[in-house]
Amino acid sequence: MTDADADSAPETESKQAWSMPRKVPNKRVCAFLVDMFCLVVIEVVLALILVETFWILDVAYLLIRDAMFEGASIGKSLVGLRVLNAAGKPCTLLQSILRNVIFLLPLTVFIEYIVMRSSWRERRLGDFVAKTSVIDLHPERSERLFLSISIALVIFFAILAGLYYKS
């Protein structure tokens, strides 16, 4: 997004948030991991009721998750983040699909993290494609807390993967 695009957004707090640099990588990672936890729960529940095509619901959630609750996935809602478009409005269904379709490719989560960390406004490739930006609704919340939660979720996923591959 160019400075001209930011200037064309309505004069709101959202526009101010859009143009401000952000330092919320731990919150974004935490929100992503919470969303992945939700997918695991969905998979377990659907596997228990023997629905064999549950992966379709996983893909659907992954793609549309940021348009669900006023521009926030379940993880972003819990962490206090919101995805906005250039007009300062919550991201649309199409923008959610555009910003998340890249996650269907293997290992892109790591590329997206590197791009987000190196971008001045901490936007990832999906944000550039969809013309969106993530804002922090609660900047007073400590990044360290979300780093700790992220580490706990990664350990949980590692244990889960170990149990799955052991059996």
Could you list the pLDDT tens digit for every one of the 167 residues in the chain? 444 444 344 444 445 555 554 557 778 888 988 888 888 787 777 777 766 666 777 788 889 989 988 889 988 988 888 999 988 899 999 999 999 998 888 888 888 888 888 877 788 888 899 999 888 888 887 778 888 888 888 888 888 777 777 76
Q: Provide the residue range defining the domain that includes 91.
A: 3-166
Q: How many domains does the chain have?
A: 1
Please report the pLDDT score of residue 54 as a whole number: 67
pTM confidence score: 0.71
Number of neighbouring beta carbons within 10 Å of residue 21: 8
pLDDT for the residue 95: 95
d(CA 82, CA 27): 11
Residue environment code for 104-113, b if the CB has 16+ CB neighbours within 10 A, otherwise e:
eeeebeeebe
- In sequence order, what are the residues at sequence separation of 6 or more whose Cβ sits closer than 8 angstroms to the Cβ of residue 21? 120, 121, 122
Q: In angstroms, how far is CA 92 from the centroid of its own chain?
A: 14
